[in-house]
Amino acid sequence: MENVILEREDSIAIIRLNREKTLNSLDMETFEELGNAVEEVAKDRSIRLVIVTGNGRAFSSGLDLSVMDRIHQMEDEEFQVWLRYTQERIYTRLEDMEKPTIAAINGHAIGGGFELALACDIRISVPDAKFGLPEINFGLVPDLGGAQRLARLTNPSIAKELVFTGKLISAEEALRLGIINKIVEKERLLEEAKSFIGNKAPIPIKLSKLMINKALETDTRSGLVFAVQAQNICIKSRDHKEALMAYKEKREPKFEGK
State the pLDDT at residue 198: 86
Instruction: List active site positions.
Output: 115, 135
pLDDT digits (tens, 9 = 90+) for 213-235: 988 888 999 999 999 999 999 99
102 vs 119: CA distance, rounded Å: 9
**pLDDT (mean) for 75-103:** 97
Domain extent listing, the chain:
4-195, 202-249
CA atoms within a 13 Å half-sphere pointing along the CA-CB vector of 243 = 17
pLDDT value at residue 197: 86
Query: What mean pLDDT do residues 54-64 have?
Result: 97
DSSP single-letter state for residue 89: I
The region of weakest confidence among 77-81, 87-91, 97-101, 197-201 is 197-201
SS3 state of residue 115:
helix
Quote the CA–CA distance of 194 and 125 in Å, as a whole number: 13
Instruction: Answer whether residue 155 shows pLDDT above 90.
Output: yes
> pLDDT category, 190, cuts 50, 70, 90?
very high
Class of domain 4-195: alpha beta
**pTM for the complete prediction?**
0.95
Q: What percent of the chain has pLDDT over 70?
A: 100
Mean local confidence (pLDDT), 10-22? 96
CA distance 224 to 242: 26
CATH of 202-249, one of 1.10.12, 1.10.287, 1.10.10, 1.10.3470: 1.10.12
Q: What is the mean pLDDT of residues 78-92?
A: 97
